[in-house]
Structure 1
């Protein structure tokens, strides 16, 4: 009989992967007997001639792995993994209840990830008639729409943009 106090303490940790490597890393972890969780959701992609439903990671570049703290760094040897999300040099631990909540939410049809945009954030519009323009979040209107100041036309103008068409531009500190 195994002593429960001596059983390894498995915790969920967050891995940061190379761009578009989430599925490869997830499958590699599973093949190597690690419990891995890659939350995905279905989106509709629009091409000029058709629409197609595609399954994409819910959190691009992030996957969850359940392991002991001692085995965390063995995981980093896998190709496609950049690093663990860490705080003060220690991999962040995610509670089982958070993983269970994400799994429950994945079963709903209206799931979407909202970026934490705040007034003043610089954004890129990806979709619609303003595709490719950059602007600044000017005002938030409710839960799913933003008013964005479009600076590319050298005018102070605002337009409602659906959050699915907006991504934050990450500024590089110099």
Structure 2
């Protein structure tokens, strides 16, 4: 099975958008750049998986080509019963690092509505950009443009994100409007 057909194979509408028989979606952390290999191994072992992918134009020396990239690099979703044997069978797949959860070692289900929404978003073929999950009050760094490298606190004012650069000794700060996609956590 090639990468392209494997990635798109599992982007089908969910037949039953509610939880059934104790089967839930879980986020799985995988080794960097192993998403497609892990997807192939999991589907080959009978595990229902979902890897949201987006097409990006990749420029090479001699040509440009549309390539599938994971929307969330390093992560994919599995749909399993939360029993020890199922969790262990996923963890034994080469390239799988761990299940995500608030409590270490305890997989946390991903709400079905979020999976359904992700599927619709990916199926829409719209231009989708990954967006950093940022919370107000977090320390962030501007990653591109003339202000690249500046660090500050992310705040929201009048519905817009602002980066506040603090001068501690003066106990003063300066704010600049910024798109959340232009910053990264420090």
What does 1:78-97 correspond to in 2, within 5 Å? 78-88=93-103, 89-97=105-113
Unpaired runs of at least 5, structure 2: 1-19, 167-171
What does the per-residue CA deviation read over 1:67-109, in whole Å, with 9 as the maximum and x for residues that have no partner?
2223111110112211112355532223443322211122152
Match of 1:29 in 2: 42
For the Cα contact (< 8 Å) 1:16–1:62, is it kept in 2?
A: yes
RMSD (CA atoms) = 3.5
For residues 45 and 57 of structure 1, the distance between their equivalents in structure 2, rounded to whole angstroms, comes to: 14
Counterpart residue number, 1:139: 155
TM-score (normalised: structure 1): 0.68
From 102, 117, 137, the equivalent of 1:101 is 117
Could you list the runs of 5+ residues in structure 1 that have no partner in the other structure? 1-6, 170-174
**2 CA distance for matches of 1:118 and 1:66?**
28
Query: Distance in 1 between the 2:22 and 2:182 partners?
Result: 41
Q: CA offsets, 1:18-61, max 9 Å, x none?
A: 233222211221222211101123456899xxx98654322232
Q: TM-score, normalised by structure 2?
A: 0.65
Residues in 1 aligned to 2:181 and 2:66: alpha-carbon distance in whole angstroms: 15
SS in 2 for 1:146: strand
Q: Which residue of 2 aligns with 1:129?
A: 146
For residue 54 of structure 2, what is the aligned residue in structure 1? 41
Higher helix fraction (1 or 2): 2
Contact 1:120 1:136 in 2 (8 A): no
Query: Which one of the candidate residues 32, 55, 60 is aligned to 2:73?
Result: 60
Matched, 1:14 2:17: no
